[in-house]
Structure formats: C-alpha cells, structure tokens
Structure 1
Amino acid sequence: MNASSDELLREEARLWAIRVGDPAFADWEGLTLWLEADPARNIAYEAALDELSAADALFDVPPAPVPDAAPAPAWQPAAVPVRRERRRWGAPALAAGVAVLAVGGGWLALDHGSMQEYATGPGQRRAIELADGSRIVLNGGTRLAINPANPRSVTMADGEALFQIRHDERRPFVVTTADGTRLIDVGTTFNVIGQGGALSVEVAEGAVVYRGTGAEMRLDAGEMLTRANAAAQPRKAAVDPKTVGSWRTGYLQFADTPLAELAADLSRNLGVPVTIDGRLASRRFSGTIMTDGGADAVMARVGPLVDVHLERRGDGWLMTPSDGARP
C-alpha cells in the first residue's frame, strides 16, 4: 500500500469514526461491509477512534441536552453517552484472539474478571470472529461469555447462537449451558437455543457430543436434540441441515414446535415481546415464518398462518385462540 492509499484509508476511517459518533447513526451494515473488505481497515478505524477520543478530551464541555421528543435508537444501550465515549468496533481486551463484529446494531462486551461477556438485545444480532477461524453469530436476546485465555471455551447463559467451528482434535471447542450441560464440537456448524433449562441443538455439519445430566449422545449432521428442562430426558429427531440457523437469512423454521417456543423465537428476532394465552399452551406449529418487512408486517402474517388471534399489548403482542380454534 503506497502513501496516497494509506492517507485515503486513514481519511475513510476517520469519516466512519465521526459518523459512528453521531447518535443518529444507523448504517451498521455499511460499516460491517467496509471493515470486512480489508483487515487493515479495522486497524485504521481503531486509530481514528483513538484520535477522536484524544481530541474530545481536550474540550471538557458537557454534551448538549437531548430533547425529550428524540427517542434513543433501538441499538443504543441505555445511559451510554455517545459524544464523549466513541463506540468501538474492535475489543482490545480480546487481543488473545477474539474480535467482535456488529450485525444490525451496536455491540456490547463486558469484562467480568477472567471472562468476556457478550449480550444482544431483542432484535439485535452480532458476530464474534475467533482467531482460529471459528465464528459465533448471536441472535437477539442472547448472553454468552468467552474465556480470553481459552477462546474455545464458551459459556452460554441464554438465547440463541449459531456456532461455525474450526475443528481441532487437540483443543475441542466446548459450549457450556447455564445448567452445566456441555456441547463438544466434532468439526461442526450447529445452532443452540437455551432458555431456563430448555435446550435445542441442531447440527448442520460435522457432529456435536451432548453431555447433560444422566445422558450423553452424539448428534450428526441432520440431527437435532430437544429438552424441555434441565432434568428432562433429551429427545433426538431429524432436521434439514439447510434450515439450521436459517434465522440469519430471514426465515424461522418450526417442526411440531410449542407456541410458547415460537413466541420466544419471534421475540428474539423481531425485538418486541410476543407471548401466548395459557389456553394455547398445548398448541404446536410446523412451518416457515418469514421475518422480513418489520415486526408489524411479520405479525400480520403470523396470525392466519398459525391460526391465532393477535392482541396488541403495549409494544408487543399476545396470541389468543382465534374464532373456531381449539387450544
């Protein structure tokens, strides 16, 4: 890279850093594409953020008050200043081998002692790139933690994530859920949903070894495991490998799924609360729901497709039995 191209790269990075510092910034997809095109861009972007932060520090002027009528962007964590604290793309604390990319929103990485924690709000998605070439994509409402000293050890508190793992026989990649269940990769692409002890694991490539309370089994590509709670016996079933992690491309696939789980999936992907009436507790659904067009458009399709009536409750929806529907 010659001097003129170096200067052009620095200027592009500086412009991105300035734009990201604007509370109204929303072009996270554009920033993602720009950064992923060349590793040098992330370095230049970090340098630009450092320069702008240093410049901010020279002026101890409080930020202008924000009018009450201006709502905070959905991706901005509450109470996080956006003028003096520049939003970063990389995570310096993960120099041992983990970098963070934002997908559809800002990212959050919290250092809790020896673990690095990542969290997404409802409707947000994030990707974590590991130094060994492995990749973790977080769906909305997900929390997991990575040990920087051993990035191939992940603890998943709750939510949904797709793991695309570079297999290493000497250093197996292990996902530990909140109840202590261990999922060990065998050269794998797999999707995990965990919530309150309930668990779903779907394997698209390779295999996963499940080790839970009183049970151990291997899941190969095209197989899935479901468990109602931490004490329940896991059940194995078939799954189409092409549908694993389909939420990333705007499709939610369901196979004899309880409506409570369907509602939780919609909440994660749409960023709004979706709940069900107790009379629908035994109802199940099989089919595909497209999540394009925004929450209102999606829910307009869900009602007739799932055969439920939808009631607006605050900023979300409640599913109730439709006329003629039987719980």
Structure 2
Amino acid sequence: MRIWAVDIVLIRKGAQIVRADQDVIVEQAIGWHVRLAEAGEDDWADFIDWMEASPENAAAYDEIAKQDRVIAGARFPEPVAAAANDNGRNHWLRGAGAIAAAAAIVALALPSLLARHASPYEVATAQGERRAITLADGTSIEISGGTRLRLDHDDMRIAVLEQGEATFHVRHDAARPFVVMAGTTKIRDLGTVFNVARQDKNLSVEVAEGSVLYQPDSEAVKLLPGDALSADETRGRVTLSKIAPALVGGWRSGRLSFSGQSLDHVAATLSRLYGTNLILAADLSARPFTGMVHFTGDAERDVPHLASLIGANWRRDGKRWILSDGAPLSR
C-alpha cells in the first residue's frame, strides 16, 4: 500500500515545529483526504486498511475532514499545467494551489491534534493531608489538604487548580512563563513564590517573592511581594489587600489569615486543612470574620480557640464539633 506524504514545514513564532509521529499521521491523513476525491476501488480498500490500523489514524482523518469546508471556500492560485516532459506521471498534489490548501489544513488541524497527545495527570490530597512535589524544571509545589491539581508531563509550565490550595516556588523562565489556571482565572508567574487558594467560587492569590500577573490577557493586575488579591467569581468582584510576605502560604505553619470571609468559609478551611468536622449553626454561618488565627491541627485545642475568638459556644458530638451562638451548650 502506498502512503502519500506532503513535505510542509510550519513556522510558528519564529520556531520550527519539530516533526513527530503525530505529524506523520497528519500528513498521511491529508494525503488520503486529497486522494479520495478521485479514488478507485483499490484506493478505498487501502484507505479502510489505513483507518483501521490505528485509532490515531481515524482521529486525524476526522479532524482533517472537518476543515474541508474552510478550504473549499478559500481562494488559492490555479494549478500549474503539467510540463511537456511529465511522461504522464499522475501527481495527486500539483501546483501552488494544492500546496496552499494542504498547508491550510495542517495549520488548522495540527494544534488540536497535538493537544490530544498531552500527558495530563492529577495530584490530589485528602482532607488533612499534605504533599510536596518537584517538577522536572525545578519548580516545587506545596499542596495543602483537600486539593486537586492537574499537571501535564508534556508541559510542566502550566498547572490547573481545581480546588484547594497550593504554594508555588517557580523556577522563572522568561521565554516560558509558568501559568496557574483556577476556574476562569489565569495567573502568570514573573519570577515568584506565591500562594493560590480556590474554594467554591472564591479565589485568593498572595505573593511572597517576585511578582505575578492576575488575568494577564485582560485586567493584567500585577501583584508584588506583600500583595494579596481575592476574587468572587459569582459576583465578579476583585479586592486587593496587603499581607506580610512571611505569612504567604500560612497554612504550612498553621497561621491562617482571614479578611471578611464568612465563618462558613473559615470552617470549610479547617475541614480541608486538618480534616476537622466542624458544624456551624445557621446563625453563625454567614457572620464575617477578620483576623489571623494559629491552628495546630489538634481539634481539641483549635475548636475551643476559634469559639473564644468569635464569641461562640462549642460542643463535641462524636467526631463532629458544633459551634453555636447563644446560651452555653452542654459538653
């Protein structure tokens, strides 16, 4: 069986795209896409064999076929007439028009095809668990409890924080800045140690060293050491504040800082970091809390300490700790 190929070199931002197995498959798919317009019975049999040989072949051909309507509406130079000494050779791809069409297909299809060959993986921690990882580029990430972080073996310069909290110690590379995605938010490293937390639709960013850009493609808010940012995705509200650089990522030492967050948020943070099963009565949940609290991870100490700070009563019910406002509760 003869497999047709196109020798096309793509240049993106001045750097030549390195050919790999996937590029070969894309070229073969383009060849079949063009060839089938005048295919005979034998050609179709060969095409079916090629499609069935690998799921990647079928996926590549499907992607190329999707671009057909784009190419069909484009205007390309007319094909060059065959030379007199062509000896009757049947060229399936001839002239500048066909080359331009093939190049357009590659340019459209290649990014999505290559994306399928990423190697994503997830690092997750249970409530009360902590982990520390080091990426191949030297970047280290300290991960708090109740956190889910998505990374990619093939692109170690991006991390997606699905939920939870992590402190990033980034090895800066101006050519390939490190990016953290959290919900709809993008945070770009400018040479940094910074902390990112995401809980429900609330996001916080704190910078200890260097700087980061919050939403670099839109607001482009630059945060320097000691700067903190909180964002409410539901309300679309962003608030800037200050924090001592030494307190950034304070969860690592048990020093937690809150600024106007609800007590429900404080309780959820304790549950995530230490696995403390803390229940708030309805009259406490929405009450705002501002202050810095030192927690040890020992509920016997932490829950009464928090209760005294907020003027609440506490009691224990098995593995649950219950906080309530009002008359003292029996323990």
TM-score range, shorter chain: 0.5 to 0.7
**1:135 CA drift (Å):** 0.9
- Work out the CA distance in 1 between the residues paired with 2:318 and 2:118: 38
1:216 to 195, 216, 220: 220
- TM-superposed CA distance for 1:143, in Å, is 0.2
Q: SS of 1:289's equivalent?
A: strand
Residues 187-196 or 206-215, more deviating: 206-215
CA contact (8 A) 2:137 2:156 kept: no
Q: Distance in 2 between matches of 1:234 and 1:163?
A: 21
Per-residue CA distance 1:167-225 (angstroms, 9 max, x = gap)? 11001000111x23111011111111102221011111111111189643111111111
- TM-score, with length taken from structure 2: 0.59
CA displacement at 1:313 relative to structure 2: 4.8
Deviation string 1:24-54 (CA, Å, 9 cap, x unpaired) is xxxxxxxxxxxxxxxxxxxxxxxxxxxxxxx
2:126 maps to which of 97, 103, 121: 121
Following the alignment from structure 1 to structure 2, what is the Cα–Cα distance between the partners of residues 180 and 212?
Answer: 12
The corresponding residue for 2:319 is 315
Please give the alpha-carbon distance, in whole angstroms, between the structure 2 residues aligned to 1:240 and 1:299.
25
The CA deviation at 1:304 is 0.7
Which secondary structure does the structure 1 equivalent of 2:159 belong to? strand
Give the distance between the partners of 1:284 and 1:238, measured in 2 at CA: 18
- In 1, Cα distance between equivalents of 2:225 and 2:321: 35
CA 1:208 to 1:302, structure 2 compared with 1: closer, same or farther past 3 Å?
A: same
What is the alpha-carbon distance in structure 2 between the residues aligned to residue 314 and residue 227 of structure 1? 36
In the alignment, the residues of structure 2 paired with residue 245 and residue 316 of structure 1 have an alpha-carbon distance, to the nearest angstrom, of 27
| TM-score, reference length from structure 1 | 0.60
Select which of 150, 154, 178 maps to 2:155. Answer: 150
Q: Deviations over 1:82-113 (max 9, x none)?
A: xxxxxxxxxxxxxxxxxxxxxxxxxxxxxx97
What is the aligned-residue identity percentage?
A: 37
Instruction: Kindly indicate whether residue 197 of structure 2 is the aligned counterpart of residue 193 of structure 1.
Output: yes
Report the equivalent of 2:263: 259
Q: Secondary structure at the match of 1:298?
A: helix
In structure 1, the partner of 2:302 is: 298
The answer on whether the counterparts of 1:309 and 1:322 sit within 8 Å (CA) in structure 2 is yes
Q: 5+ unaligned residues in a row in structure 2: which ranges?
A: 1-116
Equivalent pairs, count: 212
1:308–1:221 Cα change, 3 Å: same
Residue deviations 1:247-301, cap 9 Å, x none?
1112222233321221122112221232433322442223332222622221122
| Unaligned runs of at least 5 residues, structure 1 | 1-111
Contact kept in structure 2, 1:264 and 1:275, CA below 8 Å: no
Higher helix share: 2
